[in-house]
Structure 1
């Protein structure tokens, strides 16, 4: 199986600071203590086994927020050296609410493999699921700085919950020339009630109505630690049906999802779920969409 993986994370604890790994905790995502070790391109490719990884996109690994450009500098150095051009695309961190947001974006833009920005947006009424505790998309300063992405032809990776999808769709409509990518199939956290399912489904449809919004089918194991092909199936198929095969792409979220299964098992699950798709649809979901959307 050949794949382009548009959502991986790397870290080197010997040379860089990752606050969440300095004092790892257990959360709904899993036990971060099991991730407190270096994870490099060589580790990913070794774990891939029989899965042939053609290209990868690195998404910010919650590196030291005081120096987000250092992560991009490090990743570009890997790509230019022993990484065999990997990571082929870099999605970096920038705090778009900060006074120095413009300078940070300018610095990121100076690296050849830089493609976009992710700033985690997840807000939830339950402390267990809340990441940032504030609604960035509603803040005037954040919104002003968001407009700077267009200047550098940067995409925006949206990590959010269904309750935030209305705000996100409005933002996408305001910036039709910016490519948006929904992370982790919309992070369907509230899956124990019909209302929660309805909020996810309708929110995803609202986002999919924006032609400049795509989605990554990834991170499902964060909410389904004992996952099976059948437990993944409804979320995968609903997401593909909502966005279509030309705006959806499979991704691993490794090494985070490695807490709940192997790289090969994850990609085999995706392949099993879409076994009856056409060859062209499979090519789009596993390879072509990631290459096109991230320009790699």
Structure 2
């Protein structure tokens, strides 16, 4: 099986600071103590086993917020030596006074393609990441407009309750590519209203032609996942966005807590086994290449 994996993380704890790994906690995602070790390109390629990784996109690993550009510098060095990662989605705080300087510094590296700033807000503290509604802050919105200047996409990590606001943002910035992370992070799974909020929010986002989606991160909410437990969310997401704006991704090594790399990709392949050859190529390779320009 050949894949382009558009959502992986690498870290070197001996040379870089990741606050969440310096003081790991147990959360809905799993036990971060099990991730408190170096995870380098060689580790990922070893985990891949017989899955042939053609290209990779690295998404910010919540590196030291005092120096987000250092992560990009480090990753570009790896790419220059090893040929991967082919694309870098860097971290930046768009609410900060120095946001333009940080974006300019990231954009100076050849493999930088976009920015991710985690936006997840939830009433339940178990699921709340950031505790503030960045999309409602004037300075954040002003700095968001700088992405177009530097030719950067935006990885959109949020919850269904935030999708209506995000769709408005996407329409306001129609020339910026948005990529929804982890199939919209459907967290409120215990009620029909939770499913409806996810489904309707995803449809609002998909109505914006500049929004794509990554089919990834399912294990964060489904630790005992099976092909059948993933199938309805994968099918619903592809049906909503179409096979030309959806792409499978591993979210490794986070999803490694709940399964192997080959098991995950083979599950994806089984779930869409009835698709055409062109659709399979789009979902596993071509869309990630096109959307991340790699």
TM-score range, shorter chain: over 0.9
Shift of 1:287: 0.2
Shift of 1:170: 0.2
Shift of 1:145: 0.1
Moved over 4 A (4+): none
Aligned to 1:43: 43
2:91 and 2:47 mapped to 1: Cα distance? 26
- Gap runs ≥5 in structure 2: none
Q: How does 1:112-151 map to 2 (within 5 A)?
A: 112-151=110-149
Aligned to 1:202: 200
Which secondary structure state, in structure 2, belongs to the residue aligned with residue 14 of structure 1?
coil
2:78 and 2:243 mapped to 1: Cα distance? 32
Aligned to 1:237: 235
Which secondary structure state, in structure 2, belongs to the residue aligned with residue 215 of structure 1?
strand
After superposition, what is the alpha-carbon deviation per residue over 1:38-79, rounded to whole angstroms, capped at 9, x for unaligned?
001100001100000000000000000000000000000000
Which secondary structure state, in structure 1, belongs to the residue aligned with residue 57 of structure 2?
strand
1:138 and 1:220 mapped to 2: Cα distance? 28
1:269 and 1:135 mapped to 2: Cα distance? 35
Number of residue pairs matched by the alignment: 294
1:222 and 1:94 mapped to 2: Cα distance? 23
The reply on whether 1:74 has 2:74 as its aligned counterpart is yes
Query: Which one of the candidate residues 177, 189, 192 is aligned to 2:190?
Result: 192
Shift of 1:186: 0.1
1:254 and 1:79 mapped to 2: Cα distance? 18
Aligned to 1:12: 12
Aligned to 1:33: 33
Which secondary structure state, in structure 2, belongs to the residue aligned with residue 34 of structure 1?
helix
2:196 and 2:175 mapped to 1: Cα distance? 29
Aligned to 2:24: 24
Which secondary structure state, in structure 2, belongs to the residue aligned with residue 188 of structure 1?
coil
Which secondary structure state, in structure 2, belongs to the residue aligned with residue 249 of structure 1?
strand
RMSD: 0.3
TM-score, normalisation: structure 2 = 1.00
- Gap runs ≥5 in structure 1: none
2:107 and 2:114 mapped to 1: Cα distance? 9
After superposition, what is the alpha-carbon deviation per residue over 1:160-197, rounded to whole angstroms, capped at 9, x for unaligned?
00000000000000000000000000000001000000
1:110 and 1:208 mapped to 2: Cα distance? 31
1:295 and 1:41 mapped to 2: Cα distance? 21
TM-score, normalisation: structure 1 = 0.99
Aligned to 1:64: 64
Shift of 1:121: 0.1
Aligned to 2:175: 177
